[in-house]
Amino acid sequence: MITAKAWAGKHYAVYGLARSGLATVRALLASGARVTAWDEREEARAQAGGAELLDLNTADFSLFDSLVVSPGVPLNTHPLAARARAASLEIIGDIELFARARPELPPHKVVGITGTNGKSTTTALVHHILRTAGVPTTMGGNIGLPILAQDPLPEGGVYVLELSSFQIDLTQSLDCDVAVLLNITPDHLDRYESFEAYAASKARLLQMQSPRSLALYPWELAYSGLLPDPYRQGGGHLKAIQELERNSGRDWPALQGPHNRQNAAAAWDVVKILSGRFNLPINDTLAFFEGCRTYPGLPHRMERVREHDGVVFINDSKATNPEAAAPALAAYPRVRWIVGGQAKTKDLGDTAKHLDHVDHAYTIGEAGPMFAQLLRAADVHVTECETLENAVKRAAADSQAGDVVLLSPACASFDQFRDFEARGDAFKALVGDL
């Protein structure tokens, strides 16, 4: 695990004892800090060995130096956050603790990647390219193991962090050597007072950078009004992500579709910067193309599940909003689209641009009737299925060789499933039973 003398002797309150919370407790205790922890779930509290247990909802906050919370705690509505602000107690997350530990780690670089869509794939791709090239690297943040649970990298290593807006909100001093902002589209508006506030949260990743660091973002964001003055953010030099040639990617089986060209373009720029500006000892071109060719992909992100009687079944359960689902529709010419769940918007968003690829739609979940109405108005054939099981069976029965049955719901999963992973796993099991 990662430990730091900077934490020793301080008293931390840790609220939320899921994976990152437990990793935080263990790292702080191993560093000589005092830890008081709480989780509403008794089974979670039972795992926090070594920490003092105290209900932080009623605790005296003057006892603590910092409050460390899970990114899942809504800072805009949770009473704990309001009480901490009233007590002038800083509210941070495990990424901020990592930032404060960095001076004690062997010399390294950090790549931070955020955006509404594509950040998991881009993070995993950069990590895979570096690992394929023999660079000591690990990935963490919103993907993989909690960063504090991982062993420090040796000198010359690269930490690749996927960072959600919630994690950025809990971070004050993470100076990423390369920060990547892939895109910003409406999302999580239950946690932010406006789309502009959500965009500002994302932009803070760039604002935390020092002058020696580099930022990457699509050129159109510079003129969108969503970012602060792009030439003065943290004093850093800013560079636009350049799209790869359209014929790139034909030998990259796990990176199909125009959105993955953009993810690969961002990874390409990251690798070039690391090898050029920061003297990473690799052949950036060779490393990039070999890494893209061998990249295995991530579960639930345009994941090829099975080909059955000439029909390909694709699990894109991670597409929890229309902007995330649109690239999958664009990637396949003959789609039987399973769509619905807990809606984040009341329209088709970017998916409307690719409805000519949809032979038939099968709606599910709470938003099923809304999508059925919208799609019929756009002259798309629709079957209202209510459940994922019904949709898979009906789509499979209707399909012909050459069709793609695509689960890309454009919605959250919480109306019928624990999370998007559970939804994707259910889809894979149903397809496996055909």
Q: Residue 57 catalytic?
A: no
142 is catalytic: yes
d(CA 291, CA 296): 9
Distance in angstroms (rounded) separating the CA atoms of residues 321 and 412: 7
Q: Who's near 331: CB < 8 A, 6+ residues apart?
A: 256, 257, 258, 259, 302
DSSP designation for 224:
S
Residue 119 bears catalytic tag: yes
Total residues belonging to the chain:
434
Q: Which of 11, 78, 108, 188 is catalytic?
A: 188
Distance (Å) of CA 316 to CA 46, 412, 431: 35, 12, 13
Please report how many Cα atoms fall inside a 13 Å half-sphere around the Cα of residue 171, on the Cβ side: 30
Out of 109, 119, 202, 357, pick the active-site residue.
119
Q: Which of 38, 56, 35 is nearest to 46 (CA)?
A: 38
Longest Cα–Cα distance in the chain: 66
Looking from the CA of 56 toward its CB, the CA atoms found within 13 Å total 32
What are the two backbone dihedrals, phi and then psi, of residue 403, each rounded to the nearest 5 degrees?
-80, 160
**Of 117, 142, 263, 321, catalytic:** 142
In the DSSP assignment, the letter for residue 181 is: E
Q: Under a CB-based contact definition with an 8 Å cutoff, are residues 154 and 176 in contact?
A: no
CA dihedral 423, 427, 429, 430 (to 10 degrees): 130
Cβ contacts of residue 164 below 8 Å, gap of 6+?
71, 114, 119, 141, 142
- For CA atoms 376, 378, 382, 385, give the dihedral sign: negative
User: Which one, of 350, 359, 346, 341, lies nearest residue 406 by Cα?
Assistant: 359
For the annotated catalytic residues, the residue numbers are 119, 142, 188
